[in-house]
Amino acid sequence: MKVAVSGITPPGCAIAALLAEAGEEVCLVGPPEKIERIYERILTVRQVWDGRVISVDVEMAPYPAFSPDVLVFAERVQDTLAAAEKLLPWCREATVAAIQEGTKTEQIIAKVFPRDNIVTCVLTLGANCAVPGEVTINFKGYMVIGKAYDAPGWREDMVMNLMSRAFSTRLGKKIAHFNCTRLLLNLPYCIPAIIGETVQKTFTDPEMAEAAALLLKEGMTIIKKAGVHIEALPDLDEKGLHDLVDSPLPEASRRFMEAVASLSGCPCEGPVLGSIENGEASEIDYQNGELVKIAKALGRDAPLNELMVRLVHRVEKTWRFMTKEEFLSCVRKAAPRQEPRQGL
């Protein structure tokens, strides 16, 4: 199958490499300046859990080198619209696999591509890329595939068959609910970007884990208010997530620390910090910021997540990470008062 992968991002490079290694004809599409940074145009994927290293020679170009059967969008959310507009003339008939990071990717693509071309993919993938083209995968969960619009069954089958070459896949009937669950689980990962530490170092601190639990509790309240059913994802199942947010804060903090520790012992920075360290605008407006928008549409407030958006933008503007003490002071002022807290 001919596959174009749009996005020289950690997920984009990982997907391109894994599909090429599985025998698909792959072209990784991105800006020339990003392509030039990849040594000899070789993609390397290191899997932490088994030590396996995959190196593949993948065709790379600013535009697809062929008319693809499947166009995989693995761009950062804020880059998706420009990429879609650029690629439409080459990929108008392609089946579009939208890799979701929040709730907006498929909606952005649908502004350009026919809605019935789009199949949604919710992927759990802990991927970091410290060197261009060299991806470390800390954990690889399954990919949930479904239709947000009215794509015919054969397009959904095409994406399912393709992605099953590289990932464990399952069909999601109510894909919007999986999108919102993924959004909810992403909420705490802005915290490492604010203090400039890895995910593991940040959340081995009980006070920082309490802040993460507070974000999840606030997020769950909004998601429930929106009428969304939480769906099981590999990094935290439905029962585990409900048990966490329903627990008293110290217990919720402990559960969150255990969940993070179970994912991978290999240090990872998370997508928001990764963008900041690369000198790029982060995805914060499409993660915590998206939850704030959902809350406002429901006539509710999400003060902690709104705070996270402000703090990440402050770091982007000033290039100065906050100290733990500065961060926790801000959280104390914004956190709900009705629940007793130990560290905070």
pLDDT 10s digits, 122-174: 988 888 887 889 999 988 878 999 998 999 999 999 999 999 999 999 898 88
Helix (H) or strand (E) holding 170: strand 169-171
Lookup result for tokens 């069909």: 171
Provide the domain count of the chain.
2
pLDDT above 70: residue 175: yes
Helices 206-225 and 249-263 sit at what angle, rounded to 10 degrees?
A: 100
> 293 and 219 in one domain?
yes
Residue 123 sits in the same domain as residue 221: no
The per-residue pLDDT for 238 is 66
- The confidence score (pLDDT) of residue 38 equals 93
Q: Are residues 129 and 10 in the same domain?
A: yes
- Provide the CATH number for the domain around residue 158: 3.40.50.720
Mean pLDDT of 200-206: 93
Bigger pLDDT: 103 vs 36: 36
82 vs 98: CA distance, rounded Å: 15
Same domain, 302 and 275: yes
Query: Are 19 and 37 part of one and the same domain?
Result: yes
Distances (CA, A) of 274 to 42, 67, 109, 187, 282: 21, 32, 24, 15, 8
Mean pLDDT of all residues belonging to the chain: 90
Q: Angle 238-246/206-225 helices, nearest 10 degrees?
A: 110
In terms of domains, do 167 and 264 share one? Answer: no
Consecutive H or E run containing 113: none
Asked if residue 197 belongs to a domain, the reply is: yes
User: How many Å apart are CA 249 and CA 163, to the nearest integer?
Assistant: 39
State whether 195 and 51 are in the same domain: no
Q: Are residues 217 and 325 in the same domain?
A: yes
**Domain boundary pick from 173, 201, 224:** 173
Tokens 């998601």 found at: 223
Q: Can you give the pTM of this predicted structure?
A: 0.88
pLDDT above 90 (res 278) = no
Give the per-residue pLDDT at 241: 79
Look at residues 173, 195, 214 and tell me which one is the last residue of a structural domain: 173
CATH number of residue 328's parent domain: 1.10.1040.10
pLDDT at 344 over 70: no
Domain co-membership, 229 together with 112: no
Same domain? For 188 and 81 the reply is no
Last residue within a domain, chosen from 173, 205, 229: 173
Torsion sign (Cα): 29, 30, 31, 33: negative
Residue 182 pLDDT class (50, 70, 90 cuts): confident
Alpha-carbon distance 27 to 170, whole Å?
25
Shared-domain flag, residues 110 and 215 = no
In a domain, 117, yes or no: yes
For the chain, what is the radius of gyration of the CA atoms? Answer: 19
Question: What residues make up the domain containing 270?
Answer: 181-334
Residues 278 and 196 occupy one common structural domain? yes
